[in-house]
């Protein structure tokens, strides 16, 4: 069932991509065109917005103050399911029936670049996390405004950690491994930590460790793949040792929620995840469980600094937008630091505006504070259009290393060749 | 035809009718045979295997989210809750989604029955130049997976200005190669003499089709109706893409919208929603089961 769905998704994506590139060529080149000059008047007319899941549901009520401040504007929000959302946007672009504003996952922009318009210069993005702005910067043109961000940290059981003889969460790789071993040997856990052993997005799952070991997937100006570097070999050898020593399960369940279920039961007391799992674990663990777990920054390799993987969502305006002026004004409003704090309190999305993080709502929550600290040092996925193919090829290779015990250096050399073959074209 | 039989046999096990009871008694009277017991043992195992997912769904829909995520999982709910259903009836406009799903499914089924049997009749019984080629073309489209035509189909619908309408949800599914094939094969089995007799009596082609052919096609129509209804009821991707406002969403789209997040799934709401989506279909199937199985048996004899 899930298999068919994946195949369907893949085929539709491929078909839409063909159509998109086809359209791109027939239109006036891949250039995004000129940015709109915003009028000085208040926003007016109808603005249509597509937003996924919880964000879509909450946004309908949330825009009320904007509508009050601009009496002539009406914001129409359609909430769409996360499942196959990317397909929905792709087909809408191909069919020319897009809304004004779309909420696009930060890694979707390279693929959608030809359908989006540049951010007007009136919108100030200087206060936003630089990594988030970078994710919306395609070929030197800013195509979206970061709305919220997320990053990965280590969720762990504090009560079992004490049982295992640890007071503080380790900050280096050796310490993390000792803790994993102690969880297993002294605190009755089946495995020390959950590490993705391949499968969809398995490579992204290893990136927090790769980054914290000094490795990068591409060079700084995204001209070349840097996959078979000694740093990457080192971090994957490190992760592989968890599987070899029985500290991580190489056949983990990939079902949503299984990692948090294993943390609650204590069978695997550590996993990497984003801010959504704070609420997820409180639900799964029931009353009182919030005192039994905590989050910590990704431990770093000797001589390196902790650096996690970050993503999020951008708001972008489509070329076919009927009301781009009001659309950009709505995006500008959603990006004001105080509105971002309200949004955090509404749906717990982490603000993209750095100054929002000084608000009590965020500083008073110790777990959120850890995310804030980690966000100071993060890396994003490459913004080249071949990344999705490279990432998929890498997922397979990760599986060969972690499950099949393949040699890390050899596998990475092979992956480097695959990536070079796919190129870095956008 | 064999391809059609397989799923039907499987679903026939869902609810064994009183009918099997009498053979059991008869078997016991005739000193029971080991083979018969073995057959029933196999049937029982398959029955349990078929029912377990449904039982899990019904029991899970009244569990709390915490219990659903518990390892090891529980069978019987420890704490009984209606919250998952309350989420559907309180917060969400489930009535609209239901009406949309029903309208789309009913019109799709009616259209499919009418058009597929008409085309099937023409291809089976009428003589006209290019008939074999036409049938060949129908068979060829059977080989083209739906996803290949998905985006072009949407572009057409979009350019016609039909996005977010019932027409867009129904029109593309009104006639399909599988239905045409099924009906053509079935109508082909009807003796030519019947149709010729009617023609000699002066009946028009429309009249022959409506009064002679259609009534004889009952079993095939029942099969086609159920298959079409199920695929329309479960269709997710097309309604998702075509419905651009929430009041045009169908049940599967709503189910996904309210329970599957980007990084987390609300299993309680998902299971409760599934109960609401599946129950009507299940009841419909149980009600029609007798006709359905009878249809299959007559088809089998031919």
Q: What is the pLDDT of residue B260?
A: 80
**Do residue B267 and residue A257 have CB atoms under 8 angstroms apart?**
yes
Nearest CB to B69; choose among A12, A79, A260 = A260
Q: What is the pLDDT of residue A43?
A: 87
Give the integer Cα–Cα distance in Å for B109 and B229: 6
**If you count them, how many residues does chain B have?**
302
* Residue A165 in contact with partner chain B when CB distance is under 8 A: no
**Residues A290-317, mean pLDDT to the nearest whole number:** 94
Q: What is the pLDDT of residue A48?
A: 95
Nearest CB to A83; choose among B71, B246, B260 = B260
Confidence of residue A426 (pLDDT cuts 50, 70, 90): low
B239: closest chain A residue by CA: A88
* CATH fold of B93-259: MetI-like fold (1.10.3720)
Confidence of residue B223 (pLDDT cuts 50, 70, 90): confident
Decide if pLDDT at B298 tops 80: no
Percent of chain A whose predicted confidence (pLDDT) is above 70: 92
Residue that wins the pLDDT comparison between B288 and A55: A55
Answer for the pair A83, B260: CB distance below 8 angstroms, yes or no. yes
**Rounded alpha-carbon distances, angstroms, from residue A251 to A83, A191, A195, B121:** 25, 12, 10, 54
- Domain positions in chain B are 12-87, 93-259
B32-46: per-residue pLDDT in tens? 688 899 999 999 999
Q: Where in chain A is the domain with CATH 3.40.190.10?
A: 41-151+310-379, 153-309+383-422
DSSP alpha helices (H): ranges in B94-207? 94-125, 131-143, 146-159, 166-170, 177-188, 192-200, 205-207
Closest CA to B209 of B108, B113, B117: B117
A153-180: per-residue pLDDT in tens? 999 999 999 999 999 999 999 999 999 9
Confidence of residue B263 (pLDDT cuts 50, 70, 90): confident
Q: What is the pLDDT of residue B294?
A: 65
Give the integer Cα–Cα distance in Å for A422 and A412: 15
Nearest CB to A81; choose among B145, B159, B257 = B257
**Do residue B66 and residue A285 have CB atoms under 8 angstroms apart?**
yes
Q: What is the pLDDT of residue A267?
A: 92
Decide if pLDDT at B21 tops 70: no
Residues 276-335 of A with CB under 8 A from B: 276-277, 280, 283-286
Q: Which residues pair with A79 in a beta bridge?
A: A51
**Residues B150-174, mean pLDDT to the nearest whole number:** 92
Residue numbers in B near A261 (CB within 8 A): 69-71
Decide if pLDDT at B4 tops 70: no
Decide if pLDDT at A390 tops 80: yes
Give the torsion sign (CA, B60, B64, B67, B69). Answer: positive
Decide if pLDDT at B20 tops 50: no
Q: What is the pLDDT of residue A220?
A: 87
User: pLDDT averaged over chain A?
Assistant: 89
**Residues B11-24, mean pLDDT to the nearest whole number:** 46
Q: What is the pLDDT of residue B148?
A: 87
A224-274: per-residue pLDDT in tens? 999 999 999 999 999 999 999 999 998 888 777 788 889 999 999 999 999
Q: What is the pLDDT of residue B158?
A: 92
Comparing A53-57, A336-340, B8-12, which segment has the lowest mean pLDDT? Answer: B8-12
Residues A63/A67/A73/A75 CA torsion (nearest 10 deg):
20
Decide if pLDDT at B7 tops 90: no
Answer for the pair B244, B252: CB distance below 8 angstroms, yes or no. no
A181-224: per-residue pLDDT in tens? 999 999 999 999 999 887 878 899 999 999 999 999 999 888 99
Answer for the pair A232, A301: CB distance below 8 angstroms, yes or no. no
Confidence of residue B79 (pLDDT cuts 50, 70, 90): confident
Residue numbers in A near B154 (CB within 8 A): 91, 94-95
Q: What is the pLDDT of residue B9?
A: 39
A18: closest chain B residue by CA: B151
**Do residue B257 and residue A274 have CB atoms under 8 angstroms apart?**
no
Decide if pLDDT at A23 tops 50: no
Decide if pLDDT at B208 tops 50: yes
Decide if pLDDT at B81 tops 50: yes
Residue that wins the pLDDT comparison between B11 and A96: A96
Decide if pLDDT at B275 tops 80: yes
Test mutation, B257, B267, B269, B273, chain A, max A CBs within 10 A: B257
Test mutation, B149, B154, B245, chain A, max A CBs within 10 A: B154
**Do residue A82 and residue B145 have CB atoms under 8 angstroms apart?**
no
**Residues A313-319, mean pLDDT to the nearest whole number:** 95
Confidence of residue A83 (pLDDT cuts 50, 70, 90): confident
Decide if pLDDT at A54 tops 50: yes
Residue numbers in A near B257 (CB within 8 A): 53, 56, 79-81
Decide if pLDDT at B15 tops 50: no
What single string gives the DSSP state of each residue in A270-308?
EEEE-THHHHHHHHHH-TTGGGSEEEEPPPB-TT----E
Decide if pLDDT at B29 tops 70: no
A7: closest chain B residue by CA: B147
Residue A146 burial by CB count (10 A; 0-12/13-18/19+): exposed, middle or buried? buried
Give the integer Cα–Cα distance in Å for A194 and A263: 9
CA atoms within 13 A of residue A171's CA, in its CB half-sphere: 6
Longest dimension (CA), chain B: 73
B153: closest chain A residue by CA: A95
Q: How far is B264 from chain A (nearest CA, A)?
A: 6
Decide if pLDDT at A120 tops 60: yes
**Residues B180-196, mean pLDDT to the nearest whole number:** 90
Query: Helix crossing, A324-334 with A337-347: angle to 10°?
Result: 80
Decide if pLDDT at A28 tops 80: no
A8: closest chain B residue by CA: B147
**Residues B206-215, mean pLDDT to the nearest whole number:** 90
Confidence of residue A41 (pLDDT cuts 50, 70, 90): confident
Decide if pLDDT at A51 tops 90: yes
Q: How far is CA A23 from the centre of its chain?
A: 28
CATH superfamily of A153-309+383-422: Periplasmic binding protein-like II (3.40.190.10)
B41-63: per-residue pLDDT in tens? 999 999 999 999 999 999 999 98
Residue numbers in A near B260 (CB within 8 A): 53, 81-83
Decide if pLDDT at B214 tops 80: yes
B109-159: per-residue pLDDT in tens? 999 999 999 999 999 988 899 999 999 999 898 888 888 888 999 999 999
Residue numbers in B near A91 (CB within 8 A): 150-151, 154, 241
Residue that wins the pLDDT comparison between A11 and A380: A380
Give the integer Cα–Cα distance in Å for A108 and A385: 9
**Do residue B151 and residue A94 have CB atoms under 8 angstroms apart?**
yes
Decide if pLDDT at A349 tops 80: yes
Residues 12-41 of A with CB under 8 A from B: 12, 15-16, 19
Local structure of B145: helix, strand or coil? coil
Q: What is the pLDDT of residue A147?
A: 96
Give the integer Cα–Cα distance in Å for A344 and A58: 11
The full 3-state SS of A92-107, as one line of letters, equals HHHHCCCCCEEEEECC
Q: What is the pLDDT of residue B296?
A: 58
* CATH fold of A41-151+310-379: D-Maltodextrin-Binding Protein; domain 2 (3.40.190)
User: pLDDT averaged over chain B?
Assistant: 83
- ipTM for the complex shown: 0.78
**Do residue A16 and residue B151 have CB atoms under 8 angstroms apart?**
yes
Give the count of Cβ contacts less than 8 A between chain A and B.
115
Confidence of residue A21 (pLDDT cuts 50, 70, 90): very low
């Amino acid at each position: 069932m899930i298999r068919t769905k994946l195949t369907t998704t893949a085929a539709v994506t491929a078909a839409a991509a063909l159509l998109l590139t086809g359209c791109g060529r027939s239109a006036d080149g891949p250039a995004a065109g000129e940015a709109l000059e915003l009028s000085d008047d208040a926003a007016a007319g109808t603005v249509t917005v597509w937003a996924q899941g919880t964000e879509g549901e909450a946004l309908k009520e949330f825009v009320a103050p904007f509508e009050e401040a601009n009496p002539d504007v009406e914001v129409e929000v359609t909430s769409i399911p996360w499942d196959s959302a990317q397909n929905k946007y792709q087909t809408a672009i191909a069919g020319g029936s897009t809304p004004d504003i779309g909420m696009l996952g930060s890694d979707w922009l390279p693929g959608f670049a030809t359908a989006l318009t540049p951010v007007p210069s009136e919108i100030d993005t200087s206060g936003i996390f630089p990594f988030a702005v970078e994710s919306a910067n395609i070929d030197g043109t800013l195509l979206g405004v970061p709305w919220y961000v997320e990053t990965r940290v280590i969720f762990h059981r504090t009560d079992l950690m004490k049982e295992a003889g640890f007071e503080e969460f380790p900050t280096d790789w050796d310490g993390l491994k000792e803790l994993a071993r102690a969880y297993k040997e002294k605190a009755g856990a089946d495995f020390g930590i959950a590490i993705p052993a391949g499968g969809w997005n398995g490579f992204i799952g290893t990136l927090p460790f790769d980054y914290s070991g000094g490795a990068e997937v591409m060079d700084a100006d995204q001209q070349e793949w840097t996959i078979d570097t000694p740093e990457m070999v080192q971090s994957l050898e490190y992760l592989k040792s968890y599987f070899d020593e029985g500290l991580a399960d190489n056949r983990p369940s990939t079902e949503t929620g299984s990692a948090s279920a294993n943390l609650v039961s204590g069978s695997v007391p550590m996993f990497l995840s984003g801010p959504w799992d704070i609420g997820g674990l409180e639900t799964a663990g029931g009353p009182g469980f919030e005192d039994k777990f905590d989050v910590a920054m990704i431990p770093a390799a000797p001589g390196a600094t902790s650096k996690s993987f970050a993503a999020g969502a951008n708001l972008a305006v489509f070329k076919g937008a009927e009301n781009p002026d009001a659309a950009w004004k709505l995006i500008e409003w959603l990006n004001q630091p105080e509105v971002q704090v309200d949004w955090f309190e509404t749906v717990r999305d982490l603000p993209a505006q750095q100054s929002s993080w000084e608000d009590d709502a965020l500083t008073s929550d110790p777990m959120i504070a850890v995310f804030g600290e980690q966000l100071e040092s993060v890396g994003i996925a490459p913004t080249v259009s071949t990344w999705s193919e490279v990432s998929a090829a890498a997922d397979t290779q990760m599986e060969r290393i972690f499950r099949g015990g393949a040699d890390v250096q050899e596998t990475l050399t092979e992956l480097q060749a695959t990536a070079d073959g796919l190129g870095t074209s956008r | 035809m064999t391809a059609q039989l397989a799923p039907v046999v499987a679903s026939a096990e869902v609810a064994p009718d009183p009918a099997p009871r009498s053979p059991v008694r008869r078997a016991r009277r005739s000193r029971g045979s080991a083979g018969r017991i073995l057959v029933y043992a196999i049937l029982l195992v398959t029955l349990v295997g078929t029912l377990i997912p449904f039982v899990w769904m019904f029991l899970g829909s009244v569990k709390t989210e915490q219990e659903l995520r518990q390892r090891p999982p529980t069978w019987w709910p420890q704490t009984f809750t209606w919250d998952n259903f309350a989420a559907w009836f309180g917060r969400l406009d489930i009535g609209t989604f239901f009406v949309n799903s029903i309208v789309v499914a009913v019109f799709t089924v009616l259209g499919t029955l009418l058009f597929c049997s008409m085309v099937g009749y023409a291809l089976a019984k009428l003589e006209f130049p290019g008939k074999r080629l036409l049938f060949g073309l129908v068979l060829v489209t059977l080989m083209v997976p739906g996803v290949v035509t998905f985006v072009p189909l949407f572009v057409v619908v979009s350019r016609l200005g039909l996005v977010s309408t019932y027409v867009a949800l129904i029109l593309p599914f009104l006639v399909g190669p599988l239905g045409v094939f099924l009906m053509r094969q079935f109508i082909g089995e009807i003796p030519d003499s019947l149709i010729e007799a009617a023609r000699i009596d002066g009946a028009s082609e429309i009249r022959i089709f409506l009064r002679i052919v259609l009534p004889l096609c009952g079993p095939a129509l029942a099969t086609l109706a159920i298959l079409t209804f199920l695929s329309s009821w479960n269709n997710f991707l097309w309604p998702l893409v075509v419905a651009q406002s929430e009041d045009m969403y169908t049940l599967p789209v709503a189910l996904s919208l309210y329970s599957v997040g980007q990084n987390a799934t609300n299993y309680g709401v998902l299971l409760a929603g599934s109960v609401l989506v599946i129950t009507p279909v299940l009841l419909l199937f149980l009600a029609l089961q007798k006709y359905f199985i009878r249809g299959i048996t007559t088809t089998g004899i031919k």
